[in-house]
Structure 1
Amino acid sequence: MTHDELVAYCLAKPGATPDEPWEGDLVAKVGGKIFAFLGGGGLGVKCGRDADEAAELRHRYPDSVAVMAYIGRHGWNSITLDGAIPDDELRELVDESYDAVVAKLPRRLRPA
């Protein structure tokens, strides 16, 4: 999966909007909250409730997945798009991150 395909997949989610909170760093948001970091040609997603749950993905793909700086302790991983992780699993990771963020939104901000 190319970076452009991944960006398109993220932004096709219900209620998803692009944003650039830091110059050159694209993110995908839903209800004003980030569910995917898309800057630098990689992907950053929430992969569990905490760092311990997110560690499982890092153990399976040690050369492609790392703890995200600053927010890794909250279950966020940084993923290198090097082909090691199958496309369907990348889509699944985006789906799970999106679902986790939507679940915490107030009802009025959740996409219909």
Structure 2
Amino acid sequence: MDVERLRAACLGLAGAYEDYPFGPEIAVFRVRVPGGAAPPGPGRIFALVRVEVEPLSISLKCDPALAVQLRSAHPEITGAWHLNKKHWNGVRLDGTLDEGMLRDLIEDSYDLVVSSLPAVQRAALGWLGR
């Protein structure tokens, strides 16, 4: 998967947006936390991509038990660099991992983040759970 298809997969999720708080080499994908009484702050991160490194890699949030299983079954999935390895996986995009599985991992990361939002914010995103 190239960077544009990866970007499209992340931005295709409700409320998702991209920014570069760590510099131009790391794309951060967040879910915008909808409205409320206070002005919304930065959204919650569900993916980080090192865009200028080959092969591409993406860091995704993951349930801790599933993270261990994925790492043992797929050598291209490891603990994410510079993130809490209990909750974040790093996925090397060298063509080994099936694109459908990668999309599922992106959606799972997004779902973990959105599921932690208050019900009113989940509803504003149109999120029904997966």
Same fold (TM over 0.5): yes
Cα 1:57/1:34, change in 2 over 3 Å: same
Structure 1 unmatched ranges of 5 or more = none
Q: Which residue in the other structure is 1:36 paired with?
A: 47
Alignment partners' CA distance in 2, 1:53 and 1:87:
18
Of residues 94, 104, 107, the one that matches 2:116 is 104
The alignment covers a number of residue pairs equal to 108
Q: Which residue in the other structure is 1:57 paired with?
A: 70
Q: SS state of the match for residue 38, structure 1?
A: strand
Q: Aligned partner of 2:29: which letter?
A: A
**Under a length normalisation based on structure 1, what TM-score does the superposition of the two structures give?**
0.87
More contact order relative to length (CA 8 Å, sep ≥ 6): 1
Give 1 or 2: higher helix fraction. Answer: 1
Is the CA contact (8 Å cut-off) linking 1:3 and 1:81 kept in structure 2? no
Structure 2 unmatched ranges of 5 or more = 34-42
- State the percentage of identical aligned residues: 34
Shift of 1:108: 4.1
Alignment partners' CA distance in 1, 2:111 and 2:83:
22
Is the CA contact (8 Å cut-off) linking 2:62 and 2:112 kept in structure 1? no
RMSD over aligned CA atoms reads 1.4
Q: Which residue in the other structure is 2:107 paired with?
A: 95
**Under a length normalisation based on structure 2, what TM-score does the superposition of the two structures give?**
0.76
Alignment partners' CA distance in 1, 2:83 and 2:60:
13
Segments ≥4 residues shifted beyond 6 Å: none
Q: Which residue in the other structure is 1:16 paired with?
A: 16
